[in-house]
Amino acid sequence: MSEQEKVDPWSTEAADEERRRVSDLLAEHGKNRSTLTEKIERRKDGGKKIALPVDMALETAEETIREKKEAEEETYEFSKVFLCRPPDGAWNFNKLLTQLWDTPLGKRTTGWFASPPQMIAVEVNRGESYNVPWGTMYFKPWETTFELGMAMHPEYGVSFSVSAYGKLKYETDISNFFLLLEDFLKENSIYAGKAMRNVTAQPEFIDPYVVDRATIAYSTENWWELQAHIYGLIECHELIKEANAGYLVHKVYVVDEDDNIVYDDHAGNLVAADHPEAEPVTEWVTDPEGRKPVLDEDGKPITRTERTHIKLSNNVLLSGDNGGGKTCAAAIAGQYCLEYGFNFVEVNWNEDLVQATRFVQRLDQPTVMVLEDVEHLFKNPDAMDKLLGEFDGMRTKGYAVTLLMTTNHPEEIPKSMKGGHRIDHTIVIGPLDQPGLQRLIDSHIPESQRAKLDYAQLDTAYEGWMPAFVVRTLEDVVKHNIIRTRKLGQPLTTEDFLRAANAKRAERDAHQLATDRPPKPALEAAVENVFERVLQHHVVDLSDGEIMVRS
pLDDT in tens, 313-325: 888 999 998 889 9
Tell me: pLDDT of 80 over 60. Answer: yes
Cβ count near 355 (within 10 Å): 19
Fold (topology level) of 12-35+53-189: Alpha-D-Glucose-1,6-Bisphosphate; Chain A, domain 4 (3.30.530)
Which position has the higher pLDDT, 310 or 27?
310
Name the phi and psi angles at 199, rounded to 5.
Answer: -75, -15
Amino acid found at 406: T
pLDDT at 518: 61
Question: For residues 99, 101, 105 and 110, what is the CA-based torsion angle, rounded to 10 degrees?
Answer: -120
The SS3 assignment for 187 reads helix
Which position has the higher pLDDT, 188 or 36?
188
Alpha helices in 55-170 (DSSP H): 58-72, 86-100
Question: Confidence class of residue 105 from pLDDT cuts 50, 70 and 90?
Answer: very low
Residue 381 Cα to chain centre, angstroms? 26
The stretch 55-70 carries a mean pLDDT of 68
Share of the chain above pLDDT 90, in %: 55
Tell me: pLDDT of 57 over 80. Answer: no
pLDDT at 110: 45
Q: Would the CA dihedral through 515, 521, 525, 531 be positive or negative? A: negative
Residue spans per domain, the chain: 12-35+53-189, 204-237+310-428, 251-303, 434-513, 519-551
Fold (topology level) of 434-513: Helicase, Ruva Protein; domain 3 (1.10.8)
Classify burial at 510, counting beta carbons within 10 Å of its beta carbon; exposed 0-12, middle 13-18, buried 19 or more. exposed
d(CA 210, CA 212): 6
Question: Confidence class of residue 108 from pLDDT cuts 50, 70 and 90?
Answer: very low
- The residues, any chain, with a CB within 8 Å of residue 472's CB and separated by 6 or more, are 504
The stretch 403-415 carries a mean pLDDT of 85
- Please give the model's pTM, rounded to 2 decimal places: 0.80
d(CA 328, CA 318): 11
* Intra-chain end-to-end CA distance of the chain, in Å: 73
Candidates 354, 361, 346, 339; CA nearest to 203 is 346
Fold (topology level) of 204-237+310-428: Rossmann fold (3.40.50)
Pairing state of beta strands 401-407 and 315-319? parallel
The stretch 351-380 carries a mean pLDDT of 89
434-482 per-position pLDDT tens digit: 999 999 999 999 999 999 999 999 999 999 999 999 999 998 999 999 9
